[in-house]
Chain A
């Protein structure tokens, strides 16, 4: 299990680095998918199969397809690739890199400080029933609020995407105005 964890982590890290460095947007997204799949493997072996499956279904399966869909529609050409290569200049990535470094230090600190307290090795599998129990038990308010937010998003998207009601002939249009 430990070996699988390390392999999956390495795959995730490598593919995430590749996401950042690829110049072609679709290639970058492909690496992002691999990274998500690796993360889902990590979820699976650390006792959260439900979350692992949802990660694949929702993120790798649906959201990334939509990403690629959008990029396909935009049809990014050579210009965007060139702009992308300019993004890699020192001035552009130094500040995000420093911020990420700070986060990394925090993470390492947190891991080391918790090492003594958390019981290592005893893996507890959390199945779908437990997840849904906590979702609709303790966190029901958050779930409902998220549902409302998504609903408003759907209604808004429908309103924007709705077709114009009617096209009058230009003479009639003038008469109506």
Chain B
């Protein structure tokens, strides 16, 4: 009974925690972008504007939820839920601290990859269902981009799997007790970072939405809470990729003992979230063909080479 209660507490805690973090990122992102662009940023609602999140939420909830008459209604409604669902499902396998994990699957990493590959549907379907040229272009771009970068994402993680000898996330963290995997797997880390940005279609690689050329791409036709789902889904995606980087390459909850493990995890995760925001503040959007050729001609061979070398080293030491 007690164990069941603890499990339920963990599930509720992870769900509420991640959604709260994702909502809080609305404020954090705007404030940090302002800080890096020498602006003041949100400062109206509450002290330092920290209630901006609430204001934004109220705004999104009370906006008219308009479904245009020309859209494919069912698919239009389903599409935004997919991203929330797939990302929240992925959080189930993230070990936040020893024992604090919703489902300690033995194929945890594969589960993450599976869920992130399902995330591609949200872009494709919303782009198609909107029945709008710009949305369709965004959907087509999104599909091609996400499928391509999933390949390198999976391959870049294989080095970690080889070193840890398991797909289980907890075991991967425990295997990093001696040395974080970012040192032997630096190439894998860089590739995973880039693929993670492309997978969450964050700003340097936000070609599916590319507001300067496609208006808002796949979510041009969305309003109200349906748009909010895309919005929060994107922030959830950032949180997910940051926590995956933390778990896979930076030792998860491991750290000196003067702080509890969960705090170490959160510190590492938030520094990666901030790095994502810094990336958005800095880099311009590449051209679409540049993005694809960068992926297929540079990252794919690099990822394959990484797997090959890691495999050889592991085999040699075996």
Q: Which residue of A lies closest to B78 (CB)?
A: A30
- The CA-CA distance from A48 to B118 in the complex, in Å, is 20
CB distance from A78 to the nearest CB of B (A): 13
Closest to B74 in A: A27
Q: How far is the CA of A57 from the CA of B114 in the complex (A)?
A: 4
Q: Mark B59-79, 1 if CB is under 8 A from A, else 0.
A: 000000000000010110010
* A-contact bits for B137-173, CB 8 A (1 contact / 0 none): 0011001101100100010000000000001000000
Give the bracket for the number of chain A residues in contact with chain B.
20 to 34
Let me know if A49 and B106 touch, CB within 8 A: yes
Within 8 A of A (CB), among B95-109: 105-107
Contact (Cβ within 8 A) B125 A68: yes
B128 within 8 A of A: yes
Which of A30, A33, A53, A60 is within 8 Å of B110, CB to CB?
A: A53
Q: Which of A50, A61, A69, A128 is in CB contact (< 8 Å) with B150?
A: A61
* Residue B94 interfacial (CB < 8 Å): no
> CA separation between A136 and B257, bound complex, in Å?
43
The A/B interface has a contact count, at CB < 8 Å, of: 76
Q: Complex formed: what's the CA distance from A146 to B4 in Å?
A: 46
> Contact string, A44-63, partner B, CB cutoff 8 A, digits 1/0?
00000110111011001110
Alpha-carbon distance A53/B114, docked complex (angstroms): 6
Contact with A along B98-132 (1 / 0, CB 8 A): 00000001110011011101101100110110000
- Does A30 contact B75, Cβ atoms closer than 8 Å? yes
Within 8 Å of chain B (Cβ to Cβ): is A26? yes
Evaluate contact between B110 and A65: CB separation under 8 angstroms. Answer: no
Determine if A66 is an interface residue (Cβ-Cβ < 8 Å).
Answer: yes
A26 to B139 alpha-carbon distance, docked (Å): 14
A49-B110 Cα distance, complex, nearest whole Å: 9
Name the residue in A56, A61, A72 with the highest tally of chain B Cβ atoms < 10 Å from its Cβ: A61
Interface check B136, CB cutoff 8 A: yes
Residue contact B128 to A60, C-beta cutoff 8 Å: no
- Taken together as a complex, chains A and B put the C-alpha atoms of A73 and B133 apart, in Å, by 11
15 sampled A-B residue pairs with Cβ under 8 A = A24-B72, A26-B72, A27-B75, A49-B110, A50-B107, A53-B113, A56-B114, A61-B150, A62-B117, A62-B147, A62-B150, A68-B128, A72-B124, A72-B128, A128-B167
- Which A residues are closer than 8 A to B by beta carbons? 24, 26-27, 30, 33, 49-50, 52-54, 56-57, 60-62, 65-66, 68-69, 72-73, 127-128
